[in-house]
Amino acid sequence: MNVILNARRTARLPSAAAVTTVFVLGACASTPPAPTARLQAAQQAISTAEQANAGKFAPNELGAARTRLASANEAVTAKKMVEAERLADQSRADAELASAKTTAVQAKAVNDEMLRSTSTLLEEMKRNSGEQK
C-alpha cells in the first residue's frame, strides 16, 4: 500500500513542477522590460529637432513629441510597458516630423533667396546689355 501511495506522490511531482513553471513564466511575461532604448531614441530625436530650431518652424509637432515622451515615462512608472513603447515610438516619429518640416522650411527659404538673387542678376544683365546697344 505504501508503494502505491509513494508511486502516486512521485507521479504528481512532475505535474506540479510543470504547473509551477507555467505560472512563473507567465508572471515574467506579464511585465515586459521598460523600453529604455526607444525612450532614449525619442529623447535624442527631440534634442535633434530642438537643435534644428523646430520650436520656431514646427512647434506643434515638437510639442506633441514632448507630450508623448512625458506620457511614455509616466506609463513606465505605471508599469504599462507596451503603452510606454508605443508612446515612445510616436514621440520619436513626431520629433522626426518636426525636424523634417524645419528642414523643408529652411530649404524653401534658401531657395527663395536664390531665386531673388537670380532675378536681380538677370535684371542687371538686361540693363548692362541695354546700355551697350
- Over 60: is that where the pLDDT of 129 sits? yes
Q: Which of 58, 87, 83, 85 is nearest to 70 (CA)?
A: 87
pLDDT, residue 128, reads 86
Give the per-residue pLDDT at 67.
98
Which own/partner contact pairs does 74-78 have at CB distance under 8 Å and 24+ positions apart?
Answer: 76/34, 76/35, 76/39
Would you state the pLDDT for residue 19? 53
| Alpha-carbon gap, residue 88 to 95, rounded angstroms | 11
Question: Which residue from 89, 21, 98 is spatially nearest to 59, judged by alpha carbons?
Answer: 98
Over the stretch 80-122, which tens digit does the pLDDT of each residue have?
999 999 999 999 999 999 999 999 999 998 998 999 999 888 8
**pTM of the complete model:** 0.68
- Model pLDDT for residues 25-74, shown as the tens digit of each residue: 555 556 789 999 999 999 999 999 999 999 999 999 999 999 999 999 99
The pLDDT of residue 38? 97
Which sign does the torsion angle of CA 64, 65, 66, 72 carry? positive
Which pLDDT belongs to residue 69? 98
Q: Is 21 exposed, middle or buried (0-12, 13-18, 19+ CB in 10 A)?
A: exposed
